[in-house]
Amino acid sequence: MFIATLIAAGRLGDDDLARAVETAGGGELRWIDPGDAADLLLGPVDDWRSLRDRLETALPGIDVILQPVEDREKRLLVADMDSTMIGQECIDELADFAGKKAEIAAITERAMQGELDFAEALHQRVAALNGLGVGCIDRCRIERVTHNEGARTLVQTMRRRGAATLLVTGGFHDFADPLGAELGFEEVRANYLESIHGHLTGRVTGAIVDAAAKRQALIERRDEKGIPRGAVLAVGDGANDGPMIDEAGLGVSYRGKPKLEASADARLRHNDLTALLWAQGIPKAEWATD
């Protein structure tokens, strides 16, 4: 049994629901929050990706999340940080303090598109920060970095309902640790910037958190908690999130690059991150508000 969740906060109407039923060839409709999100309950689906694509085409401006009914409410959230939980790429913003934002941002974009090896691109970008004072890191985080809409509500609501939460990023602990705490994540995995005498050396220390490491972090946390694969939600935006997304029961591309969108179970293109609560059948009345 499958369920298609139709999400268009403040814009979902009866005509949209009727069009969804027609496209799916039947099904039972149930509102989660009238005007915001509704479920279309389906029977067995032979080619669910094809049906998802048809529904997305028939319902422009509406996010469609199609998944099995079993394990719909997730027990583990694994999320990327840059351009997913927050609206920026931290290394690009930090590079601006060194007068190298355009140069670094171009490399970041190619890495997120999957055109460059992530570790190689990381070393190249960090090398450009050699000599930058470490005080710029806190300034950058405070002045430049903002949470994406719905990020804290998503994390806090899942925590309150008993889910485990993991922030895993190819970025840096200097940003990820405080941001993870602000959003409510239980655990953070990230890279370490090396510094000497108050200045960055242009190097990272320890093992690199790349695509493979992100996937492994998900597996470790899932197995440690004894959570079935179907009860894992992973969300990211770049090509380096692909293996992590593929390993999850519900892998979501949030404003994702084409390579990630092609493989993700769901594509969140129009709504904020609270859509992932509706995807689990959780109405607004049960969301965390503080």
The question of whether 82 is a catalytic residue gets the answer yes
The residue annotated as part of the active site, out of 39, 63, 71, 82, is: 82
Please, what sign has the CA dihedral across residues 9, 274, 237, 88?
A: positive
Please, what sign has the CA dihedral across residues 47, 53, 54, 55?
A: positive
The number of CA neighbours under 13 Å toward the Cβ of 86 is 23
Residue 166: phi and psi, rounded to 5, are -140, 125
CA angle 269, 180, 271 (to 5 degrees): 15
The question of whether 138 is a catalytic residue gets the answer no
Which tokens sit at 145? Answer: 């970095």
Which residue do the tokens 């655990």 mark? 187
The residue annotated as part of the active site, out of 36, 63, 80, 237, is: 80
CA angle 31, 162, 157 (to 5 degrees): 50
Q: Give catalytic residues, as residue numbers.
A: 80, 82
